[in-house]
Chain A
Amino acid sequence: MNALASSSPDSARRSPAEIALIAAAYAIVGLMLVLPPVLVFTEALRSGLGAALASITDPDALSAIKLTLEMTVAAVVINTSFGVLAGWLLAKYRFPGRGVLVALIEIPISVSPVVAGLVWLLLFGTQGWWGEALNRVGITIAFATPGILLATLFVTFPFVTRTLLPLMEQQGRDAEEAATLLGASFWRILWGVTLPEARWALLSGVLLTTARAMGEFGAVSVVSGHIPGLTETMPLHIETLYNGYQSVAAFSMAALLAIMATATVGMRSLFEARIRREEPRKAETAGGGA
């Protein structure tokens, strides 16, 4: 559909309304999406590249970068494992309550991250349901790394499932049934049959999870305690620096985060293009098979 529209060869005769619309689209994208990162980089480099780099190698900054990477890797590993299994279950099987599960998995997208953070405090804060009891046995969740991880897991929960589910549904279960009849084990079917088919969608979901995990502020802010050098992720450290009138350091960190996120999203766009190219082929094979 998209491909058709963009390749239609009527560029020679555009109506004024069409031209105005395209110009407006460019202006809005420029103002809303291009200008902010440009400003971030301008502010970061205000005192030169040396100052920007020096601010990023400050111990608290390094600690924030390290924590962000740790949390991102952990969130991606856990949520990818869960997302693959959940996507597989929801796509290939029909069972009572399936619709409810699909809806529930989407909750983190609609719930405000602040609420997501507060929920963990309600459970694991010392005034919360389980916090005091866990504290007594020496386990600290809130205002420490596990709380930050939980908050990150929550907000990135749906992405892998959401990107996998439509594709897996479209694939049907013929191949898996054939593999089962041939005696393949569950894990072999998953690794050998289902996932290779869905690999680009899976990568896209993983990258979406990565971008969101790196950038999450609200939920993490609630459970972090904002301790520089200990529980501050990159987004939180940016706020701390900005509030400490350290503009160059704040925007340098923001620029680094922007580069990391852009790289992630750029990779994702490549994979999306790959998926789109593969889909027609698959449709053909499916059509031929039927």
Chain B
Amino acid sequence: MTSSSPLTLTRRTLFGAAAACAALAAIGRGHKASAAQALLNVSYDPTRELYADINHAFAAKWASTHGGSALAVRTSNGGSGAQARSVLEGAPADVVTLGLAYDVDMLAAHGLLPTNWQTRLPHNSTPFTSTIVFLTRKGNPKGIHGWADLVRDGVQVVTPNPKTSGGARWNYLAAWGWALRQPGGTEDTARAYLKSLFAHVPVLDAGARGATNSFVQRGLGDVLLAWEDEALLAARDLGPDKFDIVVPDLTILAEPPVALVDKNVDAHGTREAAQAYLEFLYTPEAQKIGAKHYFRPVDPTVAAESASIFPAVKTFDIASLGGWTAVQKKHFASGGVFDQIYSK
């Protein structure tokens, strides 16, 4: 008799647990429905301060043009690749503002937005550009002036993991493009250079901000390969007496794109607000906010006004390396050049 009761018991338990789960799922649904007048911007790592300001400015503008109705814009930050992966797995992004076009292409390939997304907004859907520079300790004690100095003995280089971080991929490609363009440069010499470079990297953080933290707050390494905005933030705002910026003679033009996630805005009913948000990024107001946070504005007037903020750089673009799809496949896919040079 006693041995039959535990069986009914477990069935009851299971039923109870199922009911509890269903109830909680319902709560989850309720949460989402009540948050209809909100936008989620899933972004890459170093844009925390930028989008905090832009969200604020946009909410004010939205309220003034929509009879004072409140619109909360939230931003989630992380490594570009990891963030794209979250959106692919269902993170409810209305817009993505990622570190590189390939991550958005990946979402387009899975049907979250049309594959021609980059033609829907001006400047290849890129409201701000950036580039890759070096951040060194104050006074540049290791005498680092260009890419060649990074692979000298005793130099430790901090850069995040190109598998998860958009910034890290730009870092890697800046180094690759520079090595290719050296006298006598070939793919073999570029490969050898990168192998030597990554032998100088003590840790691979998952995202750009993690790498900046390793360098700035934990004091790791001699030189940080970083987004220009990240480096300027550290050098000018976090520790003017602690860091120097070094601009290499040649680097890459980084174009972190923005895009509307059609599948999600249609599900949330937020297309109008999301589109307005992205268009707002191109207005002089937002462009100035960008320049303030060391993102290079694409608006010519604002760019001219803020020219003094940014060092002069000589750059090549991703197209000169064959475009993201080819670059991704060749370098960062499983077994690609990065895996080869990093594992050996």
Residue numbers of A with Cβ under 8 A of B are: 74, 78, 81-82, 85-86, 88-89, 92-93, 95, 121, 124-128, 131, 135, 138-146, 149, 176-177, 180, 186, 225-230, 240, 242-245
Contact = CB atoms under 8 A, between A and B. Distances in A.
Given A82-B17, A140-B28, A89 B10 contact: yes
B99 to A, nearest CB: 15
B148 interface: no
Nearest to A225: B91
Contacts of B17: 78, 81-82
B75 interface: yes
A219 B324 CA distance: 32
Contact of A141 (B9, B28, B75): B28
B24 interface: yes
A124 B35 CA distance: 21
A125 B29 contact: no
A228 B41 CA distance: 11
Tell me which of B28, B31, B72, B75 has the highest count of chain A C-beta atoms within 10 A of its own C-beta.
B28
Given A81-B16, A177-B2, A244-B48, A144 B88 contact: no
B29 A225 contact: no
30 contacts: A81-B16, A85-B13, A89-B6, A95-B6, A121-B89, A124-B90, A125-B90, A128-B89, A135-B90, A138-B29, A139-B25, A139-B28, A139-B29, A140-B29, A140-B32, A141-B28, A143-B86, A143-B89, A144-B31, A145-B31, A146-B24, A146-B25, A176-B2, A180-B2, A186-B9, A225-B91, A228-B74, A230-B40, A242-B213, A243-B77
B290 interface: no
Contacts of B182: none
B89 A228 contact: no
A228 B78 CA distance: 12
B89 A131 contact: yes
A228 B211 CA distance: 21
A230 B25 CA distance: 15
A152 to B, nearest CB: 11
A95 B10 contact: no
A227 B90 CA distance: 13
B88 A126 contact: yes
Interface string B39-52: 01010010011000
Given A139-B29, A140-B28, A146-B25, 14 more contacts: A81-B13, A82-B13, A85-B9, A140-B92, A141-B25, A141-B28, A144-B92, A145-B24, A145-B31, A146-B28, A225-B42, A230-B40, A242-B213, A244-B49
Interface of B: 1-3, 5-6, 9-10, 13, 16-17, 20-21, 24-25, 27-29, 31-32, 35, 40, 42, 45, 48-49, 72, 74-78, 86, 88-92, 110, 209-210, 213, 238
Nearest to B213: A243
A138 B3 CA distance: 41
B74 A227 contact: yes
Sorted nearest first, the 10 A-B pairs with minimum C-beta distance are A125-B89, A126-B90, A225-B91, A146-B28, A143-B91, A145-B28, A144-B28, A243-B209, A89-B6, A226-B76
B145 to A, nearest CB: 28
Contacts of A121: 89
Contacts of A126: 88-90
A227 B92 CA distance: 10
A89 B3 CA distance: 10
B24 A143 contact: no
A221 B334 CA distance: 25
Nearest to A138: B29
Tell me which of B1, B27, B32, B76 has the highest count of chain A C-beta atoms within 10 A of its own C-beta.
B76
Contacts of B45: 243
Contacts of B210: 243
Nearest to A60: B74
A240 B25 contact: no
Given A143-B90, A242-B213, A89 B9 contact: yes
Contacts of A143: 86, 89-92
Nearest to A59: B72
A92 B5 CA distance: 11
Contacts of A131: 89-90
A92 B238 CA distance: 62
A229 B32 CA distance: 13
B339 to A, nearest CB: 21
Contacts of A186: 5, 9
Contacts of B110: 127
B35 A225 contact: no
A243 B218 CA distance: 12
A131 B17 CA distance: 20
A142 B90 contact: yes
Contacts of B16: 81
B76 A228 contact: yes
A229 B76 CA distance: 10
A230 B91 contact: no
Contact of A127 (B9, B20, B89, B213): B89
Contacts of B2: 93, 176-177, 180
A278 B324 CA distance: 68
Contacts of A82: 13, 17
B42 to A, nearest CB: 8
Contacts of B238: 245
B301 to A, nearest CB: 30
A74 to B, nearest CB: 7
Nearest to A189: B5
Contacts of B27: 145-146
